[in-house]
């Protein structure tokens, strides 16, 4: 079974620039999550999708972050404009309808200079 795929793996940008990350969940997984992991901390949920609908985006900084999952499969997370404090690893995870287990992708390490 293929795992969760993410790209790019690394990104370096200047503050105030825009950036987008892509995630392809495990085939058949209806639920997709984006987490932000700041160095030395545990992951924090940004947004959760069930198919192409948003279940929880309470911790998403909506003035600069946006996410979509238009066809209920892959998803993109965008930051515009980026701030220094957005430097982190952005992890995508997915789970099926029938289990709590969340499987994580390799993450995208973002550095904002």
Residues in touch with another protein (CB under 8 A): 31, 33, 40-45, 48, 50, 56, 91, 95, 97, 99-107
Q: Which is nearer to another protein, 18 or 59 (CB)?
A: 59
Q: Which is nearer to another protein, 12 or 80 (CB)?
A: 12
CB of 16 to another protein, least distance (A): 28
CB of 73 to another protein, least distance (A): 17
Q: Which is nearer to another protein, 33 or 65 (CB)?
A: 33
The two beta strands, 75-79 and 5-7, are unpaired
CB of 81 to another protein, least distance (A): 26
């Amino acid at each position: 079974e293929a795992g969760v795929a993410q790209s790019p793996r690394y990104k370096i940008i200047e503050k105030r620039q825009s950036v987008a990350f892509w995630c392809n969940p495990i085939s058949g997984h209806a639920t997709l999550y984006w987490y932000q992991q700041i160095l030395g901390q545990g992951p924090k949920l940004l947004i959760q999708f069930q198919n192409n609908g948003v279940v929880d985006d309470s911790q998403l900084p909506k003035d600069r972050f946006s996410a979509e999952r238009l066809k209920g499969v892959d998803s993109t997370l965008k930051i515009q404009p980026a701030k220094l404090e957005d430097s982190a690893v952005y992890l995508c995870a997915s789970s099926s309808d029938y289990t709590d287990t969340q499987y994580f992708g390799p993450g995208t390490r973002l550095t904002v200079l």
